[in-house]
């Protein structure tokens, strides 16, 4: 791996196709314009010569880009040199690497190659380094080289106590694969249905736009289909749409999560998923910033939980989190954590402590003045139906109570745990090695009640806070998450 290497030559072809695809729209438009103009022949000739010149440029450029891009390892750094005309050099120190992903799209499978993405802790949404296509053998070799332990004394500050975590030479390395049954359940409860409706919605509006275009023609269709547009018909249509969206959401879950496998080998967590597009993520355990247990409203009643891990560098993904396992029974969590994320297992085994009972009335009453005010206004302006608006503060109070019941906290072995709910119930585990700053927040009202909020900021850039806790408990949490508990503090 120390000798500079090029990407797989299939990169050239793919770059060409990608570039042409980007140009297709403007090209089609100019074709269209020339077809409708008067001196059509001459315009067409211009467009054709123009586009063939562009084509030659694209081919030459793609070849040059492939030719000039090399990668190699030197001096405990991963280096990429690239750029067809301007040379860019990217040097990534090995200890700064947060994770390595490889993605296998359909065209990758044709050539037996994978795409490698190397992420560091920077907040940029794009991966620091992308190798568009390398053979699987090279990818495996490169990964081994990237994950070789950096030389001693060159530790990054965030590594800290991470060393203690390594369970080297563990004989039976844990591995868990999502069963087909679970995959189906995950699809049924995925909640992607909303997304699918959002996709289908514009489709409907396009259809309606088309109808507007040729009203006369469609009016006749409408008239013949008029009986269908009764209330019952509309309901049936909506149901069919919803069912279709649901099936689509199941399908997309299957495509994304099929064959979901998580592996652990002492220092790294390997996550693999996808039916058409295989994606493998390798995360150093000591760079994991937080673990989330997400219980969506659709899954919580059946006792199912999704586990996510947060790692600095996944700026492009949702809030730097990746799914670590899509569907687990609540009762399986402790074992799962013990196998795959042992650092977080003790805190999980301790269970969640409820919020102090005096917080209940605060969480219920917090937004009541606003919703009650709204309802009052509605009633004032329209006494006839405005009365129904008083369901709003009622719902608001119930929602506040629900959130209070769902909230909780725990701290154990340097891991702080916050549980809360907006819609889904989310339990966040924060290890002290990832916490950058700890804040105790109080306002005059909570100070009098002896309550406080604990806020923790992570190296991933995300900030998490507890619900209102007993001040003494919040202070305990802050003390327990001290990175150097032996030194005296303020």
Binding site for other proteins (CB under 8 A): 121, 123, 157-158, 160, 312, 435-444, 447, 455, 457-462, 475, 478-479, 482-484, 487-490
Tokens linked to 209 = 């736009």
C-beta of 185 vs 434, nearer to other proteins = 434
Nearer to other proteins, 261 or 439 (CB): 439
Task: State both tokens at 1.
Answer: 């791996």
Q: What span, in angstroms and rounded, lies between the C-alpha atoms of 118 and 145? A: 13
Q: How far is the CB of 312 from other proteins (least distance, A)?
A: 7
Q: Specify the residue, 97 or 139, whose C-beta has the smaller distance to other proteins.
A: 97
Q: How far is the CB of 485 from other proteins (least distance, A)?
A: 11
DSSP codes of every residue in 152-188: TT---TTTGGGGGG--TT-SS--EEE--HHHHHHHHH
Q: How far is the CB of 468 from other proteins (least distance, A)?
A: 12
Q: How near is the Cβ of 439 to other proteins at its closest, in Å?
A: 4
Residues with Cβ within 8 Å of residue 198, at least 6 apart in sequence? none
Instruction: Name which of 169 and 437 has its Cβ closer to other proteins.
Output: 437
Q: How far is the CB of 189 from other proteins (least distance, A)?
A: 33
DSSP 267-325: SEEEEEE-SSSEEEEEEEGGGEEEEEEEE-TTTGGGTEEEEEEEETT-TTSGGGEEEEE
Based on CB atoms, which residue is closest to other proteins, 340 or 429?
Answer: 429
Q: How far is the CB of 76 from other proteins (least distance, A)?
A: 18
Could you tell me if 356 and 468 are in contact, meaning their C-beta atoms sit under 8 angstroms apart? yes
Q: Give the integer Cα–Cα distance in Å for 428 and 418.
A: 5
What residues contact residue 10 under an 8 Å CB cut-off, 6+ apart? 107, 110, 111, 113, 133
Q: Closest separation between CB of residue 444 and other proteins, Å?
A: 7
Residue 3, phi-psi category: left (phi > 0), alpha (psi -120 to 50), beta (remainder)? beta
* Nearest approach, Cβ of residue 127 and other proteins (Å): 18
Instruction: Report the SS3 class of residue 119.
Output: strand
Rounded Cα distance between 15 and 30, Å, is 23
Query: Taking Cα atoms as reference points, which of 325, 316, 314 lies closest to residue 287?
Result: 314
Residue found by looking up tokens 């844990």 in the block: 174
Of residues 262 and 469, the one with the C-beta less far from other proteins: 469
Residue whose CB is less far from other proteins, 41 or 157: 157
CA distance 242 to 479: 51
Nearer to other proteins, 328 or 459 (CB): 459
Output 11 or 158, the one with its CB closest to other proteins.
158
Token reading at 15: 């770059």
The residue among 181 and 487 lying less far from other proteins, judged by its C-beta, is: 487
DSSP-derived pairing of the beta strands 70-74 and 175-177: unpaired
| Least gap, CB of 346 to other proteins (angstroms) | 22
Distance from C-alpha of 59 to C-alpha of 390, rounded to nearest angstrom: 67
Per the DSSP assignment, residues forming a β-bridge with 129 are 118
End-to-end, the C-alpha distance of the chain in Å comes to 50
Answer yes or no: are the C-beta atoms of 129 and 142 closer than 8 Å: no
Kindly tell me which of 109 and 447 has the beta carbon lying closer to other proteins. Answer: 447
Q: How far is the CB of 459 from other proteins (least distance, A)?
A: 4
User: Smallest gap, in angstroms, from Cβ of residue 440 to other proteins?
Assistant: 5
């Amino acid at each position: 791996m120390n000798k500079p290497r090029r990407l797989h030559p299939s990169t050239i072809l793919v770059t060409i196709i990608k570039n042409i695809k980007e140009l297709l729209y403007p090209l089609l438009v100019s074709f269209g314009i020339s077809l409708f103009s008067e001196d059509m022949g001459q315009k067409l000739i211009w467009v054709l010569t123009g586009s063939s010149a562009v084509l030659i440029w694209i081919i030459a450029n793609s070849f040059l880009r492939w030719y000039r891009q090399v990668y190699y390892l030197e001096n405990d750094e991963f280096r990429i040199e690239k750029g067809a005309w301007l040379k860019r050099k990217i040097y990534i120190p090995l200890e700064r690497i947060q994770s390595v992903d490889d993605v296998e799209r359909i065209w990758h499978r044709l050539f037996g190659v994978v795409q490698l993405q190397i992420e560091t802790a920077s907040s940029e949404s794009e991966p620091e380094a992308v190798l568009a296509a390398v053979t699987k053998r090279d990818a495996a070799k490169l990964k081994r080289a990237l994950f070789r332990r950096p030389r001693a004394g060159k530790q990054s500050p965030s590594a800290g106590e991470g060393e203690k975590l390594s369970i080297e030479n563990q004989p039976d390395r844990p591995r868990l694969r999502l069963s087909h049954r679970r995959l189906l359940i995950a699809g049924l409860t995925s909640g992607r249905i909303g997304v699918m409706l959002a996709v289908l919605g514009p489709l409907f509006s396009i259809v309606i736009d088309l109808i507007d275009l040729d009203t006369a023609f469609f009016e006749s269709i409408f008239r013949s289909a008029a009986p269908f547009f009764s209330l019952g018909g509309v309901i049936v249509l909506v149901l069919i749409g919803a069912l279709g969206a649901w099936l689509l959401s199941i399908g997309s879950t299957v495509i994304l999560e099929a064959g979901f496998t998580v592996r652990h080998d002492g220092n790294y967590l390997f996550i693999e998923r996808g039916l058409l597009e295989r994606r493998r993520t390798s995360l150093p355990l000591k760079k994991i910033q937080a673990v989330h247990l997400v219980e969506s409203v659709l899954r919580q009643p059946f006792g199912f939980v999704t586990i996510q891990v947060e790692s600095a560098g996944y700026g492009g993904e949702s809030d730097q989190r990746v799914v670590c396992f899509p569907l687990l029974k609540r009762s399986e969590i402790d074992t799962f954590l013990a196998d795959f994320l042992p650092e977080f297992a003790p805190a999980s085994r301790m269970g969640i402590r409820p919020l102090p009972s005096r917080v209940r009335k605060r969480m219920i009453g917090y937004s009541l003045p606003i919703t009650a005010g709204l309802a009052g206004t509605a009633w004032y302006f329209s006494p006839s139906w405005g009365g129904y608006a008083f369901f709003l503060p009622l719902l608001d109070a119930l929602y506040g109570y629900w959130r209070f019941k769902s909230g909780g906290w725990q701290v154990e072995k340097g891991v702080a745990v916050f549980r809360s709910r907006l819609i889904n119930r989310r339990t966040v585990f924060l290890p002290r090695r990832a916490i950058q700053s700890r804040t105790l927040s109080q306002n005059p009202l909570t100070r009098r009640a002896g309550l406080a909020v604990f806020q923790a900021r992570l190296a991933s850039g995300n900030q998490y806070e507890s619900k209102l806790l007993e001040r003494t408990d919040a202070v305990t949490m802050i003390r327990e998450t001290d990175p150097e508990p032996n030194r005296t503090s303020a």
